[in-house]
Structure 1
């Protein structure tokens, strides 16, 4: 990747920080405007949720796994799988109104956090066991 960045003449515009601590990752994500995710196959995607937690929207291809991690119009946008033109349009769309995306991305994570999941399960179990 470093060689490719050099070949493209963008080596001063990108960084390759390597392995980061949780605090370092949070700090770095706090400086990002957009998370670009190019996987063509993925399970539930932690990096997308980490970006959203930092208020950073994701643009990714619409593939299984990613489609469940990105909430289109809220935590990011999905492009047609393999369509670089569509991907470029989605990035441009986010960059035209970054403040909207930063706030809405954060709300998605808040609605899916462990505290929220635990509260939902507690309510569910209360209903199940109170009717037994």
Structure 2
């Protein structure tokens, strides 16, 4: 939209008009100028609104994608935590199984030492009994 300026013949025409006609022409020119300014402001506003709507749409799509990624990562985290929990339980069972024979063997060794100790004590008591 362009505001046209009056050419020289138009200005001469305005000078040839009566004062009321000139005032009317000036008012008409002022109205046209205001109308053109308003139209330009509306065009700028419309473009701005369209740009805002486009940006808002992009933000909404990006937000949805981020929410999906978050849900996916949360699911993966939950799965990994469950797998870790199961792996730890299996590991504890395996360690307990491996320690069980060791516990029995240790108990047997302790009992054997106790038995040997008692035998030695018995021998000493018998020796002391026979020699006293």
Establish whether TM, by shorter chain, passes 0.5.
no
Q: If the length of structure 2 is used for normalisation, what is the TM-score?
A: 0.27
Q: If the length of structure 1 is used for normalisation, what is the TM-score?
A: 0.27
More strand by share: 1
More helix by share: 2
